Amino acid sequence: MHTVLCKPLAVGLVLIAASKVAAHPCDGAAAAAQSRPSSGTPCWAAAAKRYGVPENLLRAIAHVESRFTAHAVRAPYAAGNRDGSCDFGMLQINSAWLPTLARAGISRDDLFDSCTNIQVGAWILSGLIRHHGMTWEAVGAYNAGCARLTAERCSSLRARYAWRVHDALATLRREHP
C-alpha cells in the first residue's frame, strides 16, 4: 500500500521539477518588473559614452520600444515577437540575449533596473553599429533580427523601425532642444 501512494507522488514531483527547469524566460517577468526601481536618468550619458553611441539615438530607441517604461514586457507571440521570444525593460532587451547576459552576471530580472537596461541596450546598439556602420540599417537591426526572414521582409521591417526612431529623434529634439 505504501508503494502505491509513493509512486504517483514521485512521478508528480518529477513532473513539477521538470516544469520548473523548462520554464519559459518570460514566465514571471511582469511580477519581477514591478519590483524594480525605474530611475535611469543619470545613466543615459554614461552608457552612451561607455559604448560610443549617440545618447539621443539611445533615448529615441527607448521612446519607440517602451515610451521609457522601465517595467515593460512584450510577451511571446505578441506583435513583433512571432518567434516565441519576449522583450524586457525600457529598451526591450530580447530574451535571445539572456544566455549571453547570464555569462556577464546579468539576469532577466536585472533588465528591469533602468540603468542596467540602458547599459545593455547601448552595448547591443554599439555591436550593431560596428557591424553595419553608423547607419539606419544598424538602427533597424536593433529591432529586427532577420535570421528567419526573407531579405525583402527583413529590409522592410528594419526600414519601418528606423523611420519610427527617426521620428522619435525629431520629437525628442523638439521637446528637449
Question: Do residues 61 and 121 lie in contact, with contact meaning Cβ atoms separated by under 8 Å?
Answer: yes
- Tens of pLDDT, residue by residue over 119-129, are 999 999 999 99
- Tens of pLDDT, residue by residue over 115-161, are 999 999 999 999 999 999 999 999 999 998 887 788 999 999 999 99
As given in the structure block, the three cell numbers for residue 53 are: 553611441
Where is average pLDDT lowest: 8-22, 41-55, 72-86?
Answer: 8-22
Q: How far apart are CA 62 and CA 117, in angstroms?
A: 10
Give residue 29's pLDDT. 60
Residue of 169 and 39 predicted with greater confidence:
169
**pTM attached to this predicted model:** 0.77
Give residue 127's pLDDT. 98
The yes-or-no verdict on residue 175 having pLDDT over 60 is yes
- Tens of pLDDT, residue by residue over 23-63, are 566 766 655 555 444 445 789 999 999 999 999 999 999 99
Residue tagged 511580477 (cell numbers):
31
Question: Do residues 139 and 53 lie in contact, with contact meaning Cβ atoms separated by under 8 Å?
Answer: no
Residue tagged 529634439 (cell numbers):
173
Q: What is the mean pLDDT of the chain?
A: 81
Using CA atoms, how far residue 170 sits from 162, 173, 176, in Å, is 12, 5, 10
Which residues fall within 8 angstroms of residue 18, CB to CB, at 6 or more apart?
A: none
Which residues fall within 8 angstroms of residue 122, CB to CB, at 6 or more apart?
A: 47, 48, 50, 51, 53, 58
The yes-or-no verdict on residue 2 having pLDDT over 80 is no
Residue ranges and CATH numbers for the domains of the chain are 26-175 (1.10.530.10)
Question: Do residues 68 and 85 lie in contact, with contact meaning Cβ atoms separated by under 8 Å?
Answer: no
Average confidence (pLDDT) over 83-91:
88
Give residue 82's pLDDT. 67
Give residue 77's pLDDT. 54
